[in-house]
Structure 1
Amino acid sequence: MSEPYVQSPAMVKNRPILFVLCLLLIPFFGLGLAILVIWYLQCKATVVRVSDGEIMLEKGLLSKDRTELKLSNIRSTKLVQSFGQRIFGTGDVQVFTAGDSPELVASGMPKPQELRQLLKGG
């Protein structure tokens, strides 16, 4: 089973201003460091995988929440990028199968155009 896309959300590139604020808060009782550790764990605990015929979004460190969709069931995709996300090459990809609300939302993903192209090709 080949996996052409396996990524976790980008931490610094997705929210550079928050990162700088956390660095500035480190001298204040280590508050910034605590925020950075929690933020890092949240990013690493989220993974998007596109493999042969399906996409899977897995969230969670101790408990897991998995959403799997067959690529053949995808009706449309939507890429949302703020100005800062466009500069740093990240974005939010929404995947629709039926209805008006997205079935899967991958926020802060690096190379979102690559992910969207893989989903369109399925």
Structure 2
Amino acid sequence: MSEVLYEAHPSVWRMRPLGTLIAWLLLAAGLYIGLTGELPYLETLYASFPAAHGWSIQPSTLGRYAGYGIAAISAFNLLRWWLAGLVDRLEIHSNEILWTHGLLAKNYTEINMGSIRTVRVHQSLMQRMLGAGDLVIFTTGDEPELAVRGLPRPDEIREHIRQHASASS
């Protein structure tokens, strides 16, 4: 196999910028609530709820459980997204493109540079600001051979493919 010209994993921050930001904020808020037991702005409703329903649990304990629950769900989502990006890898060699996907069960897609017909790079405004983009590669037919979201430096990928696809033809 030839030398690797480009290698990248999809980035969690670049694929889900808003979701990642919200998850980090909820993680911080959940830890704050869990450690202090305070639920800001809801103290009056919060304090009367257990007594009205005959619960013997203290409001601060209920707040701690809620805070740790919020933090756990946020941490789980961040970890899930991070692992999903970690197990995907795009490699560009001088004569082929290799896309690897999966943690336990692996899927490999190899595309010969000479068979590439079209390369599309799509960037939303947010992706342009974060330096990411979606890559779609067509060989034969109307369906794309490969579609990858959230890759860093998509213009560099397109240039590598264009240079080596024209040299392979």
Aligned identity (percent) is 31
Verify the 8 A CA contact 1:92 1:108 in the aligned structure 2.
yes
Bigger CA radius of gyration: 2
Q: Distance in 1 between matches of 2:94 and 2:155?
A: 19
Match in the other structure for 2:162: 120
1:19 correspondence with 2:61: no
The correspondence of residues 39-54 of structure 1 with structure 2, limited to 5 A, is 39-54=81-96
The correspondence of residues 52-67 of structure 1 with structure 2, limited to 5 A, is 52-67=94-109
**Aligned equivalent of 2:131, options 83, 89, 97:** 89
Verify the 8 A CA contact 1:95 1:103 in the aligned structure 2.
yes
Unaligned runs of 5+ in 2: 31-66
Name the one with the larger helix percent. 2
Q: How far is the alpha carbon of 1:11 from its aligned partner?
A: 1.5
Superposition CA RMSD, Å:
1.0
TM-score (norm 1): 0.95
Equivalent AA in structure 2 for residue 49 of structure 1? E
Matched residue count: 122
Q: How far is the alpha carbon of 1:56 from its aligned partner?
A: 0.8
TM-score (norm 2): 0.69
Partner deviation per Cα, 1:51-81 (whole Å, 9 max, x = no partner): 1300011000111011100000000111111
Verify the 8 A CA contact 2:15 2:149 in the aligned structure 1.
no
Verify the 8 A CA contact 1:14 1:84 in the aligned structure 2.
no
Partner deviation per Cα, 1:60-106 (whole Å, 9 max, x = no partner): 01110111000000001111111100111100010000111110012
Q: What stretches of structure 1 move > 4 A for 4+ residues in a row?
A: none
Name the one with the larger strand percent. 1
Match in the other structure for 2:10: 9
Match in the other structure for 2:73: 31
Unaligned runs of 5+ in 1: none
